[in-house]
Amino acid sequence: MEGFIKYIEIIGIIAFAISGALEGIKSKLDLLGVLVLGIITATGGGVIRDVILGIRPPLNLRFGFNIYLAIIVSMIVFLINLFDDNINRWTINKSFDQSLIYSDAIGLAVFTITGMEVAYRLHTEYSMVLYVFVGVVTGVGGGIIRDTLINAVPYILDRHVYASASIIGAIIFHLLTIYTDINRAITSTICIFIIFIIRILANKFEWNLPKATRILN
């Protein structure tokens, strides 16, 4: 199971590094700015998770592999955009935003589940609140830091059903893990798929939680 989690975590790192780098390019940042956003988006949630769980130093900083991977992926995204005129023109099109959404949705789904797995390794008898909270923070933490750095409203606060998708998937994952004997790898895959699909459908059909907009009138 640990090997499976490591492999899907790599997928999450790549997806979130792409998301962070693309946001940096969209915000017209230089190379360092793009790399910083890629690294923070890919590893920030994991660092916050480890601080909450009392893991010191945080795993991403202790081993470094995820940070190196995020740097490489972000650099590749930057160089492709820099030297390919077709890609460069593409950044102003709607399809660019779609690629951001898909890469971000993959990262959100993967890290929600891997974040919970790290918590389960420490103890399996804490309340569901802890596991769900840790999973959601791992999924959205890097994105919040990224959006704050580029002076944008974080996805978690105003985008189509973002953190809600993470919460739903995390609750389902916890219930399946604690109350069924389904193989954890299968459970993880199912819940990652659920979070990803909810996020993509929410964007496609513009599902939103209610907003108290009338108080502005």
151's torsion region: left (phi>0), alpha (psi -120 to 50) or beta? left
What integer is the mean pLDDT of 139-146? 95
pLDDT tens string 88-141:
555 556 666 777 889 999 999 999 999 999 999 998 889 999 999 999 999 999
Mean pLDDT, the chain, rounded, equals 89
* pLDDT computed for residue 91 by the predictor: 55
pTM to 2 decimals? 0.90
Answer yes or no: is pLDDT of 189 > 60: yes
* pLDDT computed for residue 214 by the predictor: 62
**Radius of gyration of the CA atoms of the chain, in A:** 17
What integer is the mean pLDDT of 25-29? 90
What is the identity of the amino acid at 129? V
3-class DSSP assignment, residue 56? coil
Structure tokens at 202: 């929410």
* pLDDT computed for residue 176 by the predictor: 96
- d(Cα 176, Cα 164) in Å, to the nearest integer? 18
- Distance of CA 165 to CAs 32, 142, 159, 216, Å? 32, 16, 11, 28
* pLDDT computed for residue 66 by the predictor: 96
Give backbone dihedrals phi and psi of 44, rounded to 5 degrees, phi first: -60, -45
- According to DSSP, residue 214 is labeled G
What integer is the mean pLDDT of 190-201? 96
- According to DSSP, residue 97 is labeled H
* pLDDT computed for residue 5 by the predictor: 84
